[in-house]
């Protein structure tokens, strides 16, 4: 991955830990003890965030928290705009999702199309009691009627900016970077 030009951190490691703790408490509160919660992270970084949230929820509730992953690649609506992408793992916890409260976890909420694809994917796997969404950053610019239930940070951005989440498990450190999109070659100014 290219080093982004002039990228500046908007969340650092301790901030990320703090907002995840807050989200965990909000989940327990809103889900009334989180008895039937299943966390499903959307690969790649959503999965790490889901695991971290699960750890925090286990500390709060002192119960084992089911956590898994939901790859949405095959459900994307822009498949034909790119070469085929490598598939990531879908791992549904043993007891499944039927009748449970599924909390989808992703790093950045942007157009909402990923979440639409995730809802379709869930549909082929089972029938949850309800579905909620937790994201680390909501950068706006929704293209579909979708909103998050738990937001780590609302980050107003312009479309010329990029938001990049880095997590220790994948990138070696925790940070959220806001940068400028490099000018596309041949694009009109």
Partner 1 sequence: MQRHLISAADLTRDDAVLILDTAEEMARVADRPIKKLPTLRGRTVVNLFFEDSTRTRISFEAAEKRLSADVINFTAKGSSVSKGESLKDTAQTLEAMGVDAVVIRHSASGAPYRLATSGWIDAAVVNAGDGTHQHPTQALLDAFTMRRRLVGRDAGLGKDLDGRRITLVGDILHSRVARSNVDLLHTLGAEVTLVAPPTLLPVGVETWPCEVSYDLDSTLPKSDAVMLLRVQRERMNAAFFPTEREYSRRYGLDGDRMAKMPDHAIVMHPGPMVRGMEITAEVADSDRCTVVEQVTNGVSIRMAVLYLLLGGNEPAVSHARPTEEK
- What is the C-alpha R_g of the chain? 17
Under the binding rule (CB under 8 A), the answer on residue 4 touching partner 1 is no
Residue 88 is a binding residue for partner 1 (CB under 8 A): yes
Going by C-alpha positions, the residue among 31, 21, 37 that lies closest to residue 152 is 21
Stretch that binds partner 1, among 3-11, 56-64, 74-82, 172-180 (CB under 8 A): 74-82
> What part of residues 24-53 is at the interface with partner 1 (CB under 8 A)?
44
The H-or-E segment that residue 114 falls in is helix 113-123
CA-wise closest residue to 136 among 1, 3, 10: 10
Find, among 109, 92, 95, 2, the residue nearest to 46 by Cα. 109
Answer for the pair 106, 133: CB distance below 8 angstroms, yes or no. Answer: yes
Q: Does 71 bind partner 1 (CB under 8 A)?
A: yes
Question: Could you say which of 50, 101, 106, 131 contacts partner 1 (CB under 8 A)?
Answer: 106
Segment near partner 1 (CB under 8 A); pick from 21-29, 112-120, 146-154, 178-186: 112-120
Q: Shortest Cβ distance from residue 77 to partner 1 (Å)? A: 10
DSSP 157: -
Determine if 75 is a binding residue for partner 1 (CB under 8 A).
Answer: yes
**What residues make contact with partner 1 under the rule CB under 8 A?**
44, 71, 73-75, 78-90, 106-111, 113-114, 120, 123-126
């Amino acid at each position: 991955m290219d080093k982004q030009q002039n990228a500046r951190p908007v969340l650092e490691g301790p901030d990320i830990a703090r907002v995840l703790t807050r989200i965990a408490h909000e989940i327990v509160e809103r889900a009334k003890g989180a008895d039937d919660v299943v966390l499903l992270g959307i690969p790649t970084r959503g999965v790490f965030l889901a695991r971290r949230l699960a750890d925090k929820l286990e500390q709060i509730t002192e119960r084992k928290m089911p956590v898994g992953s939901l790859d949405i690649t095959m459900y994307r609506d822009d498949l034909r705009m790119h070469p085929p992408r490598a598939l990531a793992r879908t791992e549904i916890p043993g007891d499944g999702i039927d009748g449970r409260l599924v909390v989808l976890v992703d790093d950045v909420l942007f157009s909402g199309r990923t979440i639409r694809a995730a809802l379709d994917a869930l549909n082929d796997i089972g029938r949850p009691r309800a579905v909620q969404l937790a994201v680390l950053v909501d950068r706006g610019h929704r293209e579909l009627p979708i909103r998050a239930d738990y937001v780590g940070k609302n980050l107003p951005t312009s479309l010329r900016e990029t938001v990049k989440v880095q997590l220790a498990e994948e990138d070696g450190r925790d940070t959220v970077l806001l940068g400028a999109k490099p000018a596309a070659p041949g694009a009109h100014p």
